[in-house]
Amino acid sequence: MKTVARKLRRDGRSIGFVPTMGALHEGHLSLIRRAQQMADTVIVSIFVNPIQFGPSEDFEVYPRDLARDAELIANKGVDYLFAPNIDEMYPEDFVTYVATEGLDKRLCGSSRPGHFRGVTTIVNKLFNVIAPDYAFFGQKDAQQTIIIRRMVRDLCMDTEVVVCPTVRESDGLALSSRNQYLSPEERQAARVLSRSLQLCRQLYQEGERQVSKLITAIRELIEKEPLARIDYVAIADVDSLEFLVELDEEDPALVALAVFVGTTRLIDNLILKPETES
Ligand code: AMP
């Protein structure tokens, strides 16, 4: 892949890169479409990165179907697929990691120790192989986008990070490869994540600025759903990820949550901004 990327650069072709773990869905495809609009050549990677999974997490059972994914993206006109194997990425004596200290312990980082260090390390490696002009990430993983942006800035990487909106099912559930784990009852119950964020947005639009009140409203709604168990609900600064107490009229705020539905951990988020919101 490195040689291909080097040649593309030599030929003056800009590279758009979409890193994924496969089990591709419309969320991934939206990143690919954006990449195709912005870059001459689009490279998609599929790699289920072992070092971003905790010992009791779903690395072994994470959905994998490389043949289907490869066909799907070929049909969408993606130029190159990079699907390295684990030994290629992590030789036995691998010892070098990249960490965004502090940011990686907040929100999802507190329930998934080591997760973001795994993410920043693999993204760094993939960027070193591909040296993309643009890299595309989904707002669905809000903390990941904040951490990657910070890594790119702190390490003077020559890649522009482009964040694309969360793609949702018609009932609001954010698309995720992990939605495949849900039983039909759990799938219904999973609607509570986006519903609780919509409630938060509504209260915010009605003028509520007390974080504790917004969080209580979200928690109360989720707690009514018997199949759901809250991991965390937080409202934080969009750069530092520090918890906020009261929202002001200038700065956007990240509302982020992680909820177990049955045994499946789902995440979702919303950015609150004074005039507009996403
Ligand atoms: P994953 O394969 O889950 O690691 O995701 C690869 C990329 O796709 C990440 O940048 C995710 O944020 C993005 N992504 C996943 N789900 C969605 C979604 N529903 N909408 C937009 N982007 C998404």
Q: Whose CA is nearest to atom 19 of ligand 1?
A: 175
pLDDT computed for residue 275 by the predictor: 73
Average confidence (pLDDT) over 93-121? 98
Task: Assess whether pLDDT exceeds 80 at residue 4.
Answer: yes
The domain 177-271: what is its CATH number? 3.30.1300.10
Q: Are 271 and 254 in contact (CB under 8 A)?
A: yes
Distance 163 CA to ligand 1 centre (A): 10
pLDDT in tens, 166-222: 999 999 999 999 999 999 999 999 999 999 999 999 999 999 999 999 999 999 999
Give the fold, CATH level 3, of 2-164.
Answer: Rossmann fold (3.40.50)
Task: Assess whether pLDDT exceeds 80 at residue 276.
Answer: no
Task: Assess whether pLDDT exceeds 70 at residue 6.
Answer: yes
pLDDT computed for residue 274 by the predictor: 80
B/e letters for 48-81, b = 16+ CB within 10 Å, e = fewer, are bbebbbeeeeeeeebbeeeeebbebbeeeebbbb
Task: Assess whether pLDDT exceeds 90 at residue 53.
Answer: yes
- 194 phi, psi to nearest 5 deg: -70, -30
Distance 131 CA to ligand 1 centre (A): 20
Q: pLDDT over 70 for what percent of the chain?
A: 99
pLDDT computed for residue 178 by the predictor: 96
Of 137, 194, 271, which is best to mutate to test ligand 1, by the most ligand atoms within 8 angstroms of its C-beta? 137
- CA separation, residue 140 to residues 37, 157, 256, 263 (Å): 20, 23, 10, 20
| Domain definitions of the chain by residue range | 2-164, 177-271
Task: Assess whether pLDDT exceeds 60 at residue 132.
Answer: yes
- Judge whether 115 counts as a catalytic residue: no
Taking the whole predicted model, whether its pTM rises above 0.85 is answered as: yes
Of 17, 18, 25, 28, which is best to mutate to test ligand 1, by the most ligand atoms within 8 angstroms of its C-beta? 28
Task: Assess whether pLDDT exceeds 60 at residue 277.
Answer: no
pLDDT computed for residue 38 by the predictor: 98
**Predicted confidence band of residue 52 (pLDDT cuts 50, 70, 90):** very high
